[in-house]
Structure 1
Amino acid sequence: MWIDLEPDPAGAAQRQYLKDRGASLFGVVTAPGQPGDVVVPGGDLPPAYRVLTAAMPVQMLAYASGRARGLDPGTMRYLGWPVPVTVE
């Protein structure tokens, strides 16, 4: 997954480098016209807040990917012991 919330020439070059080597990328971008598979709103937000608009689609993709693999998102698979939590 390639999340490009602030497109620039360096990011485009990295993306192309990966594609040239056979990578299959799923792109999340914030403005129409950028190379990507999903356009999320937020291109007019300050850069520090753009990640908030991308968080939900990325979480939904992660959830759907887990379900497609037969996993139950939200449960721990490899943790066989309790984790102590200290609340102050």
Structure 2
Amino acid sequence: MQAFVTDGPLPDWDASDEEIDRRVAQLEAILKPVTGEEARALVSCFGPDDCYGVAWTLLHLIETGPSPVLATDPVRDANEWHQRLYLRAVNGGLIP
């Protein structure tokens, strides 16, 4: 998990196949469910787009944590993935 977080946000669609494959392998190596601390660290790893669907895998991994990571509405210009996490928690009844 540390290697994935240390490498920072996911790359965008312009990344090489090798870079995306490397990040996918790192992500798939993370054990589920994640802890609350791990989920909070993973939130910083969303990139500028969906990285060919890898961002969805990251979102679902974060959601295996014990509670919603984002309990307050993100600012208007926040990363779209932060807003999705928050809205999914609201729609799921986890946040009022």
Bigger radius of gyration: 1
Q: Which structure shows the higher helix fraction?
A: 2
TM-score by length of structure 2 reads: 0.27
Output the TM-score relative to the length of structure 1.
0.29
